[in-house]
Structure 1
Amino acid sequence: MSSRWLRRVPLRPTLRLRLILLNGALLFGSGLLLGALASLRWEQPTGLLTVGLPSLLLVTLLGMGMAWLLVGRALRPLHRVTATAQRLGEENLDERIRYAGAHDEVAELAGTFDAMLDRLAESFESQKRFVANASHELRTPLAVMRTEVDVTLDDPDADLGEYRRMARVVRDASERANSLVEALLVLARSEAQSGRRLVRKVETDLADGAAAALSAIDREAKRLSLHISTTLDPAPVVGDPSLLERLAGNLLENGVRYNHLHGQLWVETGADPEYAWLVVANTGFEVAQADVPGLFEPFRRGGRERTGARGAGLGLAIVRAVCDAHGGTVSAVALDEGGLEVTIRLPVASA
C-alpha cells in the first residue's frame, strides 16, 4: 500500500468509512464466531488458528475492499448533490442532478433536490420580475414630476396658472407613488406572515370590514351611478383587523375601478360551521377565464380596462397574500356578461 494511496483515503469519519468499518467488523466477528464453533469439533485447535485466522483476515479485507467500491458507487449521486449545491448561485440556478440510476432512496433524494431547485429558480425569477416592475411603477410618477417641474421652470413666460397646473400634476403623481409604496408595504407584510403565526390575532368580522370599505368607495360609486347590492351576514374570523380591512377594501376598490357607468356591484358575507366568506362581484369588461389566475400576480392586469394606469396591479396580489397569512383561500370567476366574482374563504372563529 503506497503512501500516495494513503493520502487519498479520507481520514475524517465519513459515511463511506463508517460503513466499511462496520462491514469489516461484521465479517471478522462472524468469522470468529464460526471459528469458535468449529474449534469445538476440531481435534487440533492450533491448526485451526494457523489456517483459519489468516483466511479470516483475508476474507475480511476482501469484503471491506468490495464494500468500499460498492458504497462509493452508491454514494456517488450524493457527491453530485453536494458538488451541485456548492456551485449554486443566483446566476446558475438552472443546474440539476438529473439522477438516472435505480429508483431508490438516492434517486428520491436527488429528485427532491431538483424539485427544490425548481422552486428556488422560480422564486428568484419572480423576485426579479417584482423588483423590475416595482422600479418601473415607482419611476413613472417620479419621471412625471421631474418633467413637469423642469418644463415649467424652463418656461420664462410661465404664469401663476401654469405653476398651479404643475403643482396639481406633481400632487397627483406623488399620491400615486405614495399609494404604490403603501401597497408594497402591505404586500410585504402579508407575505412575511404567510405560513407563520400572525403577529396580531383579534376576533373580527368580515362584514364590518366590508361595511367600512363600502363607505370608503361611496363617493366614487355614486360618480359612476353604480347599483350596489349587499347581504352582510355575520362572518366572524380571527386575524389581523388592518390586513382584513385592506383585503375587503382592495376587492371593493377593484369592483368600482374596473366597472362601467351604471354598472352593478354585489357584496355578500356569511359563515358556516367551518368557514366565513366574503364575495365581491362586479360588472365590467370581459376577462378571459384563462387570464384570471394571473390577476393575482403582482403588477398583473387583464382586460381592456385593466391595462392602463388605473392602479399598480397589486390589489389582488395583496388579497391573496392576506388570505394565505390567515390560512384561507381566494378564488375568482370571470362572469359571462363581463366582470369578476371573487370569493374569500377564511376559517371561522370558534364560538
Structure 2
Amino acid sequence: MKIRHKLTLRYTGATAIVFSLVVLVVYLFSEHSREKEFFRDLTREAVTKANLFLSDRVDAKTMQSIYRNNRQFIDEVEVAVYTTGFKLLYHDAQEIDIIKETPELIKNTIRKKELEFYEGNYQGIAMIYSYEGIDYVITAAAYDGYGYAKLNSLATLLIILWLSGLVILAILGYFLARGALQPVSRIVDEVDVISESNLDTRLAVKKEHDELDELSETFNQMLDRLEKSFDNQKMFISNVAHELRTPLAALSTELEVALLREQRTGEEYKVIITNALDDAKSLKHLITGLLDLAKANYDFSRIVTEELRLDELLLDAREMVLKANKNYSVDLIFDQNAEDDSMITVRGNAYLLKIAFVNLMENNCKFSDNKSSDVQISFFEKNAIVRFSDAGIGISKEELEKIFIPFYRGKNSTRTKGQGIGMTLTQRIIILHNGIITIHSHIGEGTTFVVEIPHI
C-alpha cells in the first residue's frame, strides 16, 4: 500500500473518531436537554391540574374526560393527587395508572420533596405540593413523543452528516496526502535515473527548510560519498592495471630469457635470478603502495584512531627508514620544549601517519647528495608542525604543482627508483587527519615539506 493511501486511511480514521465523538456528544447533550425539559413540563402540568382540582375550579369528572379525549391524539400527562397518608384524592385514569403509586413511593417523596424517574418509556415525577397550608403528594407521568421525534430527526441528521462528512474528508485527505507527497514522487523520479554511470547527478533542493529538503540534502551527501568511493575504486583498479603491467612484463621477460638457451653458466643464472628478484621486490613495493593509497581514501570515521605522540611516531618512522636504507641519515630536531604533552599529541591512525612520515624522510634522502633529512618539530595554539628538509637538488616551480598527482615522477626522478605513489599517499593521509601539507623548494638549494596537524 502506498504512503498516500495509508495517510488517507489514517487521516480519515482519526477524523472519523473525532467526528464520531462530536456527533455522540451532540446527541447525548440533546437527549439530556430533552429529558430535563420534559421533567419540567411534567412538573408544570402536575401543579396546574392539582391547583385546578384542589381549588374546585374544575370538577374531577371533567378533568378525567379531558384527559381521556386528549390521550387519543397527544401524549397527555397523567396526574394523580394523594394525601401524605397515601389517600388517593384524584387520578386522571386509575385504570391505566402509569406510575402505580405505592406507600414506599409516597414516603420517599415526603423525604426527598421531589423525585424524577422512568416507568418503562414513560417519564414520571413525584413531588410535595402545598395548598392552603396542607401538603399533598402529586405524581405525573407521560411519554415525550414530540421530544423523541425531534431526537430521532436529530439522530438521522447527524448520521447523514457523519457519513457525508467522512466521504468528503476522505476525498480531501487523499488530495492533501497526494499534494504533500508530490515532492517525494519527484525525488523518487530523480533517484530512479541515477546509476553508476551518472553518480554526479544530485537532487534539487528547494531551500524551503522542510523535511524533504533535509532528505534531499542527506541523499546528496550519500551520493557524494558513493561517488568518491566509486572514483577511488576506479582509480585503484586503473592504477593497478596500469602500474603492474611494467614490472610483470619485466619479470616475464627475465624468465623467458632464462629459457632461451638450455645451457647457461651458474653466473648467468645468478644474474637472471637477481634481476627477477629485483623486479619482484619492485612489484611488492608497488602493490604495498597501492594498498596503502586505497586505505588513505577511507572515511576517517571508519579508521581506528587513538591519541598519538608525534615525537614517538617520528622516532619509529626514522627507525624504519634507517633499517631499510643503511646509508640514509635522519636527524630529529625539537624547536620547543613541550611542557604540555598535548601540544605534540594528535588523534590519528599510527600506521598511516608512519607511512606518511617515512615517505617524506625517504624523499629528502633520495634527492639530496648527503642522503639526509632534517626533521623539526614545533607547535602553536591549535596545530603541531613538522618540517622535513633536505639540501638536495630541489624541485622546479612547474613540477611543484604536479608532485601530488598519482604516479607522476619529475625530471630529477631518473636518478632514483620509485612508482610515483609516495607523495600522493602522503598528502591523502595528512588530509585524512584534518591536516595540510605544503612544499617550499628552490633548485639547487633543497626542499622542505611542512606538515600541520591539529593537536588535542
Find 1:125's aligned residue among 231, 241, 246: 231
Counterparts of residues 290-301 of structure 1 (less than 5 Å): 291=401, 295=404, 299-301=406-408
In 1, the alpha carbon distance for the partners of 2:269 and 2:376 equals: 47
User: How many aligned positions are there?
Assistant: 326
1:331 aligns with 2:437: yes
* Change in CA separation of 1:221 and 1:176 when aligned onto 2, cut-off 3 Å: same
Counterparts of residues 1-351 of structure 1 (less than 5 Å): 10=1, 14-32=2-20, 34-35=22-23, 36-37=25-26, 40=30, 44-79=150-185, 81-82=187-188, 90-91=196-197, 93=199, 97-98=203-204, 104-154=210-260, 162-188=268-294, 194-196=300-302, 198=304, 205-209=312-316, 211-212=318-319, 215-216=322-323, 221=328, 230-232=332-334, 235-236=344-345, 241-257=350-366, 259=367, 261=369, 265-271=373-379, 275-282=383-390, 284-288=394-398, 291=401, 295=404, 299-301=406-408, 303-305=410-412, 310-320=417-427, 322-323=429-430, 327-335=433-441, 339-345=447-453, 347-348=455-456
In 1, the alpha carbon distance for the partners of 2:410 and 2:451 equals: 19
Q: CA RMSD in A?
A: 4.2
Q: 1:3 corresponds to which residue?
A: none
User: Which of these two proteins has the greater Rg computed from alpha carbons?
Assistant: 2
In 2, the alpha carbon distance for the partners of 1:274 and 1:197 equals: 23
* Change in CA separation of 1:200 and 1:98 when aligned onto 2, cut-off 3 Å: closer
Check the 8 A contact 1:267/1:279 in 2, yes or no: yes
Shift of 1:254: 1.8
In 2, the alpha carbon distance for the partners of 1:25 and 1:196 equals: 46
In 2, the alpha carbon distance for the partners of 1:16 and 1:30 equals: 21
In 2, the alpha carbon distance for the partners of 1:307 and 1:47 equals: 104
TM-score (norm 1): 0.71
| AA matched with 1:135 | A
In 1, the alpha carbon distance for the partners of 2:303 and 2:261 equals: 57
Check the 8 A contact 1:194/1:322 in 2, yes or no: no
**Which one has the bigger strand percentage?**
2
Check the 8 A contact 1:291/1:302 in 2, yes or no: no
Q: 2:62 corresponds to which residue?
A: none
In 2, the alpha carbon distance for the partners of 1:34 and 1:315 equals: 76
| AA matched with 1:248 | F
* Change in CA separation of 1:113 and 1:267 when aligned onto 2, cut-off 3 Å: same
Shift of 1:141: 0.9
In 1, the alpha carbon distance for the partners of 2:182 and 2:228 equals: 28
| AA matched with 1:15 | I
In 2, the alpha carbon distance for the partners of 1:89 and 1:218 equals: 48
Shift of 1:213: 5.3
Superposed CA deviations along residues 256-277 of structure 1, whole A, max 9, x for unmatched, are 33x3547984421234575544
Bigger RCO of structures 1 and 2 (CA < 8 A, at least 6 apart): 1
In 1, the alpha carbon distance for the partners of 2:423 and 2:247 equals: 22
* Change in CA separation of 1:80 and 1:311 when aligned onto 2, cut-off 3 Å: farther
Matched position secondary structure for 1:278? strand
Identity %: 24
Shift of 1:71: 1.4
Shift of 1:146: 0.9
Check the 8 A contact 2:306/2:349 in 1, yes or no: yes
